[in-house]
Amino acid sequence: MAQKTGSQSGFSQDAVICVRHAQAAFADLLSGAGLGGARPTEIGRILGLDKTLAWKVSRFSDATDLLKAVKHIPGPSGVEIVLKAAQANGVTQEKINAVREANQAFRTFVRQNAGDRRSFEAMLAAGGQDSTIELEERRSFYRSGSAIWGVRAKVQFLTLLLQPSQTNPDRIDVLQLSGFLGFERLRSDVPWIIRRLWTSDTAGTQDADFDREALYPQDGGKNALPMIPEFCSDPIPEIHQFTGPDGVLYDEIAPGPVGKHGALTCVSGELYRSALPMHWTPENTFGRYELMLRTPVEAVVFDVYTHQSLTQFGDFDRSVYGLLEDRPGVGRGKSHNSPMMASEPAQRLGPPPSAPITQCSRIRDYSRMIDSALEQAGWDPVSSFRGYRCELDYPATPACLTMECPIFEQTDAD
C-alpha cells in the first residue's frame, strides 16, 4: 500500500517510483500485444480503442517527464477498456494484473497524498518548478478571485524613478507612476482600495518623513489621488478617500457600472521629495521597493529606473511574497514570509549611454507617459537612467512583489 510522505523531497521520490511502476506495467502490456513502440494510431487500430484513449496510453507509456506522464494516464474506466482489449488480443493475465495493480497503487497514492489528480499535479509541479502548470493554476486563481471579489483588471503597474534629491544631498527623490488598466466591476456594489504607501529601512522602521506632491495640478486638495487625466479613462474615475485607524490614507474606486461598459483606467503620478536615504549605512544596506497585489489582474508590470549617478545602487532582483498569513516578518527588512516565487534577476532594460527600454506592450502610451512625467518634474531625460523590469502573468493574491538591490559602501576613491 502506498504510504503518506511528509517532505517535498520524500513525496517527489515516492511519486517517481509509483508513476514509473505504472508506466512499466503499461509498456509491458503493449509489448505483450506486439505494440511496443507503436504509434497511437496503430495501438488504436489493433486494440480497437478510440483515438483519444490510444493517444493517452501511448503518451503515458513513453513520457520521460513525470508530470507529462501523469497528465496522460487514462482514467479508471479507460484503463479497464484497455485491459479488456488487451486480453482479447492474447495478452497474458499476468501482464493485465500487473497494470491493474500498478494503476490501483497510483490512485491510492494520489488519494492519500493529494486527495485528487489536480492537486497531485500541482504538488509535482511545485517539486519540479513546472512553469506551465504554475501559470495554469494562477490563471484559475485569477478567474475564481474575480468571481468571488467582484472586480478584475487587465494590468496593474507601478513605475518608480529614483534620482538624487534636488533639496537634500543625502536623500533620494522618487517619481511614482501607478495605476490599473481595464479595471472592471463584476458587481456594481463593490468599492476597491487601490492606493497604500509606506517605506522602511533595513531594520524595518518607518521612514515616511518626506514631502509629497501631485505630479500634475489637482482640484481635490493635497491628499487627493494625483490622477493624470491624459492617461485615465473619460470620465475620470470616481475615487473615494478615507483614513484608516492606523492613520494611513486609503483611496478606493467607487462602486459603479459592471462589465466592459463600466471599465475604467486609472493612472496617477506623484513626486516624493527627499523620500529615501541615498548612502550606505549599517541601517541602509539595500533598497527594497514593494508593490502590494490585492486585485485580481491578468498581468502586473513593475519597473524601477535609477539615475546613472546612483552608482552605489546594484542590479535589482525580483521576488514575490505571499500575504495570506498575518505572520510576523523575519530576516532582512523583517517584512515578509517565505517567497512564493524565488528571487531572480529582474529584466535589465538598458543602462546609459543608450536609453533604457520604456516600451511595454501591455501599457498603452507607456513611453510617452514616462517622458511626460520626467518633463513635468523637471528631471533629466530617461536616457540618464538604468532600467529594471518585472512582468508577471496572473499573480496570485494577496502578495507583495518586491524589487530589491544592494546598496554598496562607497569610498573616497569612488
Asked if residue 255 and residue 110 are part of one domain, the reply reads no
Max avg pLDDT among 136-145, 187-196, 262-271 = 262-271
Q: For the chain, what is the largest distance between any 2 Cα atoms, rounded to a whole number of angstroms?
A: 88
Task: Mark whether 185 and 246 lie in a shared domain.
Answer: yes
Cβ 389 vs Cβ 316: under 8 Å: no
Q: What is the pLDDT of residue 230?
A: 93
* CA proximity to 293, closest of 216, 171, 167, 178: 178
**Run of H or E including 148:** helix 131-149
**Nearest-10 crossing angle of helices 40-47, 76-88:** 70
For helices 76-88 and 8-32, angle between their N-to-C axes, nearest 10 degrees: 30
Question: In this structure, are 201 and 311 located in the same domain?
Answer: yes
pLDDT tens for each residue of 268-317: 999 999 889 999 998 889 999 999 999 999 999 999 999 999 999 999 99
Q: State whether 157 and 287 are in the same domain.
A: yes
> For residue 388, what is the DSSP state?
E
Phi and psi, residue 96, nearest 5°: -65, -45
Residue 403 pLDDT greater than 80, yes or no: yes
How many domains is the chain partitioned into structurally? 2
Sheet of 151-164: strand order equals: 211-214, 264-277, 171-185, 151-164, 297-307, 385-393, 347-350
What's the whole-number average pLDDT of the chain? 86
Tens digit of each residue's pLDDT (9 = 90 or more) over 69-89:
888 899 999 999 999 999 999
| Residue 296 shares a structural domain with residue 364 | yes
pLDDT digits (tens, 9 = 90+) for 134-151: 788 889 999 999 999 999
The pLDDT of residue 247 = 72
Residues 353 and 283 in one domain: yes
Looking at the structure, tell me whether residues 365 and 293 fall in a common domain: yes
In angstroms, the CA 173 to CA 273 distance is: 5
266 vs 201, which has greater pLDDT? 266
What does the pLDDT read at residue 206? Answer: 47
Same domain, 284 and 208: yes
State whether 392 and 349 are in the same domain: yes
Digit-coded pLDDT (tens) for 201-228: 444 444 445 677 888 877 665 667 899 9
Q: Are residues 263 and 392 in the same domain?
A: yes
Question: Which cell goes with 294?
Answer: 490585492
- Residue 347 inside a domain? The answer is yes
pLDDT band at residue 328 under the 50/70/90 scheme: low
Give tens-digit pLDDT for 359-393. Answer: 998 998 999 999 999 999 999 999 999 999 999 99
Write out the residue range of the structural domain in which residue 35 sits: 8-129
| 249 and 379 part of one domain | yes
pLDDT of residue 66: 78
Shared domain for 115 and 225, answered yes or no, is no
- Which residues touch 14 (CB under 8 Å, ≥6 apart)? 2, 3, 5, 109, 113
Q: Is the pLDDT of residue 320 over 80?
A: yes
Mean pLDDT computed over 171-190: 95
Of 129, 161, 191, the last residue of a domain is 129
Return the pLDDT at 329. Answer: 53
Count the residues in the chain.
Answer: 414
**Distance from the Cα of residue 131 to its chain's centroid:** 11
